[in-house]
Structure 1
Amino acid sequence: MIKTSFIFIISLFCIFGVSGQQLSYLKPNVSMPAHPRILWAKGEEKKILDNIAADKNWARIHQVIIDESNRMLAEPTLERIQIGRRLLATSRECISRVFYLSYAYRTTNDKKYLARAEQELLKVSQFSDWNPSHFLDVAEMTMGVAIGYDWLYYDLQASSKDVIKDAILKKGIEPSLDSRYNSWLKASHNWNQVCNAGISYGALAIFEDHTALATQIIDRAIGSIRLPMQDYKPEGAYPEGYSYWGYGTSFNVMFLSAVQQVFGSDFDLSAAPGFLKTAGYFQQMVGSSGKNFNYSDAGNGAGLSPAMFWFAHRNKDNSLLFNEKNYLQGDTRSLGRDRLLPAAMIWGKNMSLDNATTPKQLIWVGQGKNPVALMRTSWTNPNAIYVGFKAGSPSVNHGHMDVGSFVMDANGERWSMDFGMQEYESLESKGVKIWGREQDAERWQVYRYNNLAHSTLSFDGEFQRVEGYAAIDHWTDKPGFLSANSDISVVYKNKVQQALRGVAIIKGQYVAVRDEITSAKQATTVRWAMLTPAEVSLEKDGTATLVQKGKKMQLKVLEPAGASIKTWSTVPPHDYDAPNPGTTLVGFEVALPANTTAALTVLLIPEGAKADKSVRPLKDWNKQ
């Protein structure tokens, strides 16, 4: 058996070109610590237990993990249930169960957690495969199984260890060598981060049994993961948005933390431009309503992120835990849905959440592939105004045609919103091809994905140009005039000579959205629209009253004079589109003759605020 396995691995080396590769980062005979070695070494339990005893915040997180572990004891063991092309839900549940149960065992020594973790590990190890055709499934399953194998190494039955170790090798690592399944090695998005992290965990777990192969796998990952890490430059804005930051960046940090723990170095990976700054992006993406700026394929929820504890420690910046501390003051039961939650206990073991200070920065601007400007009037006032403004391009991974879109919070509510994602299987199961990014791709027919369903402009009812890209061109950081503006002309190619959009919070009281447009050589009709969850009542003189939960906001058109505000239904055109109940598009249309310049100026005035009767041209905003 041993001889057969050895021959098979050698064959893989030859077929997939792993053997003979020069190591770029690791030494051939690199030493490896004893188990447990991944994230949390033997003997480090005491520090976490001391933290739990000394800080009620850590005690809350710990108790969530223990409560969830107890709940898991009564659940049936995992089954290989594939939904469409994905086994991912099962893989994620595997991480959650094994991570939580293994943590519970290491902190309590209660063998009921060990026994159940061993059952789960054996069950998934005996699956026919971990679905390599959708490799995220393999990566997450490998990570979960590797954590359990490593953390419980000396307490698992010998027969169980053989089965689990074999599964890590054959169902996790070996498929990653197959060119049919490993295109993620050259990707610059979350697949690279997740897959390299998961497979590297497998290599770390069984390192002593397959040293040459494991060394190559980890060395390969150190080189490959640099590709997506380049996408954080220059300031840390993550191109795929809030939800995928929570996915890709968290697994990236899982990788860095494990490598640092084992080798004493992260091989300068965390020095990638913008990477350590990206925690600021993630923090600033959450508005005063408690919702995130959910552009691209994102949900609108927000919650504690274990990765933020790693960033706070690395940056020596406790203000990065401001949101995390606030989340712990509320209902903590939702924390148990985060499969990586035990990592927060590890990364935060040397810090106190009582020392989390209030951030000072009221505007955060990040360029890169999908630039954003994020501004607010206060971090502590629940009625504060918050605006997220997006430039960028529809061409990025998971991108929408949302260049120029914005969200706006005031008085604890979201007034300008973004639909965010539609669940992929709901589209794929109906044959919709959602992953093309060409101008004529079927993706853009999905209602939530194109600009007609976003708080931005459209011309003659046409889609934005996929190849277009817009930067944040200027911004101001004075508390009385927080602003950002962008030249978004390129996404309306052939419709305009120029389209400039600026968004500002003025005097801390209200928001102005100003567009300056020069039409092309033919006439066009521009539609200004804002997506809102509020009930809309149309008034005279270019105003509308928005109402939700007993609160009000006024939308007022300053320019062009006499604009007639209207609403558009958000009932989508296709049976495959998700329904959008309780939402409305509100705005106006303006017919522009050829070669005409016009300004569109709209004020969003929260209840109780007073607004000026004019807004300066964009060229003067930087003079404010």
Structure 2
Amino acid sequence: MKKIFACLFLLAAVSGFAQQSAPHAQQATNAIQSIRKAHPRLLLLKGEEQILVNQIKKHAEWGNVHAQILGECDKLLGLPPVERIKIGRRLLDKSRECLRRVFMLSYAYRTTKEDKYLKRAEKELLAVAAFEDWNPTHFLDVAEMTMAVAIGYDWLFDQLSAESRKIIKDAILKKGIEPSLDSKYNYFVTAEHNWNQVCNAGISFGALAIAEDEPALANQIIKRAVESVPRAMIKSYKPDGAYPEGFSYWGYGTSFNVLLISAMQKALGTDFGLSQSPGFLKTAGFLENLIGPTGMAHNWGDSGLREGLNPTLFWFAEKNKKPSLLWSQKKLLAGTSDEFLRNRIIPALLVWGVKTDLDAIKPPTKKVWVGQGPSPVAMMRTSWTDQNAIFVGFKAGSPAVNHAHMDVGSFVLDAQGERWAMDFGMQDYNSLEAKGVDLWNAAQNSQRWQVFRLNNFAHSTLIFNSQLQNAKGYAQIDTWSDQGDQLAAISDLSQVYENQVKSVKRGISIIQEKFVLVRDEIATLEKPVTMRWNLLTAANARIIDEKTVELSQNGKKMFLIFDTNAKINIQTWSTEPPHDYDTPNPNTQFIGFETTIPANSEASFNAYFSTSTDAPATKPLADWPGKLK
């Protein structure tokens, strides 16, 4: 009873926030009054599987995905169910594998009616239902396991034995939903990041799956989700859809957010206005533009690098009636890789995307995308169809954002089918936690900023007097240009270097579709400063003279040309990390320069990337074309 009163008190607080901050969210007092009585009710209603199967036949690409899912399910038939084996403090990899297996096996049964898939899914469900718990101390583990078991329970409901249904339902209730009401575990309710999205989605799936047996509890859980998830949605997508946690966490938080909305729409006939949250429907444009012509993402923060088939983009394309959002996905669908089978929600690709006419997918037309929010970014390119096109991703923001690095002002650069300026991305969390690293404290003096990959020494940005960036500093994209002869973005980075220099502005531009220019304008305080201009690259670097570097990789060449009145010392630095807990960084190096800027002075530095040693004249940032953002 105490738990219930505590939860009701928390719900009241969250409700107050939702009313103030989520004007598009509707009230959900009687949240499940319109719930569908029959199973399945989650994502794909009873009878809709036949429509899906008929649609699959219209494009060979859909048929290939469908066939590969069935093939993967055949491989699962002989494997034992997942076991409760934790890695460090997490059970998450087992929860995710269970979700992958159950979602695919349930899909395979519904689309083929072959009993072997039903029995194997039931075996998996009963195995995890027998776990002592789903590891509520790391609640993402519970959320994903609850979603897995809820999908299996709902999609296979009519075919499961009464005994199996009871065991599975009780597991959803006791190991999924009830721990979410315990204040020791439900921090996610007030979180403003992916934990909120994932945990609300997983527990809501459980509630919707067993709603006929636990109607009051199901109503409470859905009401809580509708009032809680706007905290994360508003923080994550307003105003332009730029997701503050970056590429990989977009795939996590946003996918589960869409799963939640889609499940509500199917089971209840409404999403209570959640999909209209500011910036949410724009966020697919963020992810689309984050991918360069090499197929690699602008992987700032705790992020991976490679794009894969993404079911969520198909939901957004349908919702926005904008097939061009799937331009890169269309190419992946036409490929031969089966890597998508590792995606634990891959059946949703067919649930959400199978009605898409792949022939209607054309390349986007806009070559610049800018988003603000907690992690502002600008992405620009010379072409959507040329794999040798120039692509630049420019990162502003703050190290204080969840999963952020000290990378404010950093950039990535693709050209000639190669990545010349890169980002390391994330290091595996357990490898750091196992060594006792205080990884989740973002304070200025936290051990987090001693991790090699996370501080500004390891990014393509600026360092003053060998100091860290200001963890609480923030920079936005101040102006930008989509003019054909000069695509550009400018950011004032001064807050991030507070008390180190008076002001710092960085502009990045693609000029005449041939040159990339990085321009920095610095004003110092009452003491001189030593500045390091840093570039992280996998290319070989050869210093030609006092202003020119030749970069080469895979038979391609790129010149890095520095233009400044200051005296600079071009040099390279090793990427070998200093601590035993840091991961190695083979085949990479830093290249750049150091210079001393006198006290109470101003200096400017131009760095050109060009396929020749020529470089065009430039202007001060104040004279660049641009729109206020």
Interval containing the TM-score (normalised by the shorter chain)? over 0.9
Which of 368, 373, 389 is equivalent to 2:378?
Answer: 373
Is the counterpart of residue 13 in structure 1 residue 4 in structure 2?
A: yes
Over aligned residues, Cα RMSD in angstroms? 1.6
For residues 513-542 of structure 1, the C-alpha deviation after alignment (integer angstroms, 9 at most, x for no partner) is: 000000111111011010000111111141
1:305 alignment partner in structure 2: 310
Please give the alpha-carbon distance, in whole angstroms, between the structure 2 residues aligned to 1:455 and 1:31.
53
For residues 580-603 of structure 1, the C-alpha deviation after alignment (integer angstroms, 9 at most, x for no partner) is: 010110000110111110001000
Q: Is the 8 A contact 1:197 1:254 kept in 2?
A: yes
2:166 alignment partner in structure 1: 162
Measured after TM superposition, the shift of residue 15 of structure 1 is 5.5
- Partner SS state of residue 531, structure 2: strand
Please give the alpha-carbon distance, in whole angstroms, between the structure 2 residues aligned to 1:19 and 1:379.
47
Measured after TM superposition, the shift of residue 19 of structure 1 is 11
Is the counterpart of residue 219 in structure 1 residue 223 in structure 2?
A: yes
1:195 alignment partner in structure 2: 199
Q: Is the 8 A contact 1:47 1:349 kept in 2?
A: no
2:127 alignment partner in structure 1: 123
- Partner SS state of residue 379, structure 2: strand
After superposition, residues 407-426 of structure 1 pair within 5 angstroms as: 407-426=412-431
2:487 alignment partner in structure 1: 482
Please give the alpha-carbon distance, in whole angstroms, between the structure 1 residues aligned to 2:32 and 2:326.
39
- Partner SS state of residue 496, structure 1: coil
Unpaired segments of 5 or more residues in structure 1?
A: 1-9
| 1:440–1:29 CA distance, 2 compared to 1 (3 A) | closer
2:114 alignment partner in structure 1: 110
After superposition, residues 430-579 of structure 1 pair within 5 angstroms as: 430-560=435-565, 563-579=568-584
2:319 alignment partner in structure 1: 314
1:134 alignment partner in structure 2: 138
Measured after TM superposition, the shift of residue 18 of structure 1 is 7.5
Measured after TM superposition, the shift of residue 348 of structure 1 is 1.4
| 1:125–1:391 CA distance, 2 compared to 1 (3 A) | same
1:90 alignment partner in structure 2: 94
Measured after TM superposition, the shift of residue 20 of structure 1 is 10
Q: Is the 8 A contact 2:32 2:218 kept in 1?
A: no
Which of 206, 213, 226 is equivalent to 2:210?
Answer: 206
- Which residue identity is paired with 1:372? V
Please give the alpha-carbon distance, in whole angstroms, between the structure 1 residues aligned to 2:117 and 2:613.
59
Which of 609, 618, 622 is equivalent to 1:619?
Answer: 622
2:247 alignment partner in structure 1: 242
After superposition, residues 171-182 of structure 1 pair within 5 angstroms as: 171-182=175-186
TM-score, normalised with respect to structure 2: 0.95
Q: Is the 8 A contact 1:38 1:261 kept in 2?
A: yes
Measured after TM superposition, the shift of residue 551 of structure 1 is 0.8
Please give the alpha-carbon distance, in whole angstroms, between the structure 2 residues aligned to 1:16 and 1:598.
57
| 1:477–1:611 CA distance, 2 compared to 1 (3 A) | farther
What is the aligned residue count?
613
Unpaired segments of 5 or more residues in structure 2?
A: 16-25
Q: Is the 8 A contact 1:64 1:332 kept in 2?
A: no
Please give the alpha-carbon distance, in whole angstroms, between the structure 1 residues aligned to 2:173 and 2:116.
27
Q: Is the 8 A contact 1:509 1:610 kept in 2?
A: no
Please give the alpha-carbon distance, in whole angstroms, between the structure 1 residues aligned to 2:206 and 2:477.
41
Q: Is the 8 A contact 1:281 1:366 kept in 2?
A: yes
Please give the alpha-carbon distance, in whole angstroms, between the structure 2 residues aligned to 1:383 and 1:518.
37
Which of 101, 104, 123 is equivalent to 1:100?
Answer: 104
- Partner SS state of residue 191, structure 1: helix
TM-score, normalised with respect to structure 1: 0.96
| 1:45–1:466 CA distance, 2 compared to 1 (3 A) | same
1:389 alignment partner in structure 2: 394
Measured after TM superposition, the shift of residue 31 of structure 1 is 3.4
Please give the alpha-carbon distance, in whole angstroms, between the structure 1 residues aligned to 2:539 and 2:257.
38
Q: Is the 8 A contact 2:6 2:183 kept in 1?
A: no
For residues 479-536 of structure 1, the C-alpha deviation after alignment (integer angstroms, 9 at most, x for no partner) is: 2110001000111111111100000001001100000000111111011010000111
For residues 198-256 of structure 1, the C-alpha deviation after alignment (integer angstroms, 9 at most, x for no partner) is: 00000001000110001100110011001111020111000000000000000000000
| 1:132–1:20 CA distance, 2 compared to 1 (3 A) | closer
1:288 alignment partner in structure 2: 293
Measured after TM superposition, the shift of residue 290 of structure 1 is 1.0
Please give the alpha-carbon distance, in whole angstroms, between the structure 2 residues aligned to 1:293 and 1:368.
17
Q: Is the 8 A contact 1:510 1:611 kept in 2?
A: no
| 1:507–1:20 CA distance, 2 compared to 1 (3 A) | closer
1:7 alignment partner in structure 2: none
2:355 alignment partner in structure 1: 350
- Which residue identity is paired with 1:528? W
Please give the alpha-carbon distance, in whole angstroms, between the structure 2 residues aligned to 1:52 and 1:271.
30
| 1:410–1:110 CA distance, 2 compared to 1 (3 A) | same
| 1:403–1:29 CA distance, 2 compared to 1 (3 A) | closer
| 1:26–1:350 CA distance, 2 compared to 1 (3 A) | farther
